[in-house]
């Protein structure tokens, strides 16, 4: 399964949930917001959000500064 994550293509062996992808990439504690195909997915639904081949993910982390 191919996914586009923040503009970069990544390949995964099988269908996964959004949470599983974040865990494989070691990002589950770093990502604050996620969108799949331009649709925001709330954090409490990450484990239920099944991804499909070709989906586009945008993963965001908020950084403070000034």
- pLDDT digit string (tens) for 21-53? 999 999 988 899 999 999 999 999 999 999 999
Q: Is residue 66 part of a domain?
A: no
Name residues whose C-beta falls within 8 Å of residue 37's C-beta, 6 or more positions apart in sequence: 55, 56
Do 55 and 27 touch, CB atoms closer than 8 A? Answer: no
What's the pLDDT score for residue 15?
87
**Structural domain tally of the chain?**
1
Instruction: Check residue 60 and report its DSSP letter.
Output: E
| Domain limits for position 33 | 2-60
The average confidence (pLDDT) of the chain is 93
pTM, whole model, 2 decimals?
0.89
Q: How confident is the model at residue 13 (pLDDT cuts 50, 70, 90)?
A: confident
Interatomic CA distance for residues 57 and 3, integer angstroms: 7
Interatomic CA distance for residues 24 and 38, integer angstroms: 22
Q: Is residue 40 part of a domain?
A: yes
Q: Is residue 31 part of a domain?
A: yes
């Amino acid at each position: 399964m191919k996914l586009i994550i923040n503009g970069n293509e990544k390949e995964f062996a099988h269908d996964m949930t959004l949470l599983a992808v974040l865990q494989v990439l070691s990002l589950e504690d770093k990502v604050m917001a996620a969108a799949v195909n331009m649709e925001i997915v709330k954090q409490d639904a990450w484990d239920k959000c099944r991804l499909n081949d070709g989906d586009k993910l945008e993963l965001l982390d908020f950084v403070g500064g000034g």
